Structure 1
Amino acid sequence: MKIIIIGNGFDLSLGLKTSYKDFIQSNYFNLLVKNNNSLALYLNEKKEINNWVDIEKELTEYSKQIQDDKSKVKNDFKELKNALMDYLKESQEEEINENSKAFEMMKNEIKDTEIIYNFNYTNSVFKVARILEISNIEFKHSYVHGSIENKNIIFGIEDDARINDNHIFLKKSSNINFAESNIIRVLNNSGEKINLVIFGHSLGITDSSYFKNYFYSLTNQYNHSKLKLYHFGEEAYDDMMGTIDKYTGHNLTNFKHYNDLEFIDSSI
């Protein structure tokens, strides 16, 4: 079974300004700040200090520190999520770069792929498919975290994040649409050898629930898989290796020994 997993790096490679950094520099976010949205004010302060911000990480810290009542925190979170959707809806309409590594990957991999698990909220996969004249894309494609079109995006933090008990709505798994994608079940219980292509996804801790059991299983000599892992530069490779090291129980040796691995630098 061949599977493609894509993350925000896919959209960025296509030339779309869909990162959290882009969003925080947008008028959509600035309007929240002007309207005294407490969460936006907190994130903006972090941006001023660090010149960038990891929104999902900062949601955890925000929950620990904020003294506002539950309804205010929940409303501010909803406003931030809606502003993000509005921003991405506009950003996804930009022209895509057909000379990008992301486009090249799709051109080479999509035809014999059974499932595309998309961690983005945008329609970029469908835009690429139209250009490539792939007619059955809707049968292969699955949004893991919802989409802008369906207004059902899953945005927040992982289960193991330690937050205020009153802020359960900040967790992705509390979203009513969570688990509509079957990615965890397929990766861990498909019963088939998996040929996996990952582009634009760091496999980071904020999505650990989807990957940690699968990668741990790959340290077993009987669970051989073929993986093609794209990374953007040397630092991104190091970060990916650090994460996989954690997922495999610090057993990278077996992971690399028992699986057919190919690492591709998409920055070149």
Structure 2
Amino acid sequence: MNKVLIVGNGFDLSAGLKTSYGDFINSELFTSHSGSLLFDRLKARYVKSKWVDIELFLKSYARCISVPSRRVDLLSGEDRRALHIFLKNDDHLDQATENFHEEYVSLKKALVDYLNDQDDLGKIDFKNGVDRYFSENHTSKKFNAVLTFNYTSQALRKVFSGCDPPDILHLHGSLVQNDVVFGVDDQVEGVSEEFLFLTKSDHASYGKFPSLKSIALESDEMHFFGLSFGETDDSHFRPLFEFLSSDDARIGRRLVARGVQTQWGGDEEIISSINRRKLHFYVNGRNGYVGIRNRLRHLVGQKVSELKLLNEVSCFDVSQSDVFKIDQNWLDEHSV
């Protein structure tokens, strides 16, 4: 697997699909669940902040109703703000605890139903040349696989419709297979064991495919598009980037370069494996660049220099009509 594309929800958004959490919360489908404590608190959070990560909200919600002796004042300030301190009495706590699993399942089903309606070829409208860019990129050197964190598939299928398509692997399940992984990571300190159904690893389809670190060992090129590298997916990205910024990455490349037999191939890969791995990051303008830069610095533990020395790192701006490779002039002009 020499060349892979890894995509997140930003890819669907670039295709004109209304797949953000905000789009979902503002939909008629979401509003139809008014009266549900979980739905109502989630809506209130979004209205106040104009943005919400539903998975992070679920973790805060679970912590809030897991507090020993139901002491809301024991919560961290972040968790209290996330919920607007809505659990003001035992009645609210009883209702939230008793109905949490049922409401969580309803929330997941509503999200799936909403995305099924959005995942429509007729709604796809790439305006920034992304579809043409990746189609041509695939033609010049085939992507061996596309790994997607999205439940949807139509935008990717459209991009590769005019050529021999790569394998598309849904890391968090898909709408087609009805096996979506929706929840929080395993870092659930303060969450009662009765709510561990929230964890992504508790889903039946989680772990169906190899880890991103394993994929990196096989890859000469890795393209990242539409990803925020947020903390809800730390279990995927932290091991990957810790590996890519460590001497282990260098040693691994040398082993393959010497023709050591591995499960990923042998002598025929020697020449292509001598060069540094290419890492391509696609960002949406200045804010996208700053966000990715800061998250990568967090993931590699400040070892950005090592990441760039061990790998050939390039960034591309996709906010304009064409994909543009970011250079120093772009960085200076955008004050980053």
Q: Are the equivalent residues in 1 in contact too, given 2:37–2:96 (CA < 8 A)?
A: no
RMSD: 1.8
Alignment partners' CA distance in 1, 2:307 and 2:314: 13
Q: Which residue of 2 aligns with 1:97?
A: 125
Alignment of 1:73-152 (within 5 A): 73-93=100-120, 94-111=122-139, 112-123=142-153, 124-130=155-161, 133-137=162-166, 140-152=167-179
Alignment partners' CA distance in 1, 2:222 and 2:20: 24
| Deviation by residue 1:22-51 (Cα, 9 ceiling, x = unmatched) | 000001110112xx2221111011012112
Alignment partners' CA distance in 1, 2:137 and 2:237: 21
Alignment of 1:1-268 (within 5 A): 1-33=2-34, 36-66=35-65, 67=93, 68=95, 72-93=99-120, 94-111=122-139, 112-123=142-153, 124-130=155-161, 133-137=162-166, 140-162=167-189, 163-184=191-212, 186-187=214-215, 190=217, 192-220=218-246, 222=250, 224-268=276-320
Q: Are the equivalent residues in 1 in contact too, given 2:14–2:127 (CA < 8 A)?
A: no
Number of residue pairs matched by the alignment: 260
Are residues 186 and 115 of structure 1, via their aligned partners in 2, closer, same or farther at CA, if it must alter by over 3 Å?
farther
Q: Are the equivalent residues in 2 in contact too, given 1:202–1:231 (CA < 8 A)?
A: no
Structure 2 unaligned spans of 5+: 66-92, 254-275, 321-336
Instruction: Quote how far apart the aligned CAs of 1:237 are.
Output: 1.4
Secondary structure in structure 2 of the residue aligned to 1:260 = strand
Q: Are the equivalent residues in 2 in contact too, given 1:227–1:262 (CA < 8 A)?
A: yes
Structure 1 unaligned spans of 5+: none
Select between 231-240 and 4-13 the one with higher mean Cα deviation.
231-240
Are residues 12 and 193 of structure 1, via their aligned partners in 2, closer, same or farther at CA, if it must alter by over 3 Å?
closer
Which residue type is aligned with residue 42 of structure 2?
Answer: L
Select between 10-19 and 251-260 the one with higher mean Cα deviation.
251-260
Percentage of pairs with the same residue: 29
Select between 91-100 and 49-58 the one with higher mean Cα deviation.
91-100
Larger Rg: 2
Are residues 134 and 71 of structure 1, via their aligned partners in 2, closer, same or farther at CA, if it must alter by over 3 Å?
farther
Alignment partners' CA distance in 2, 1:8 and 1:141: 15
Alignment partners' CA distance in 1, 2:294 and 2:170: 26
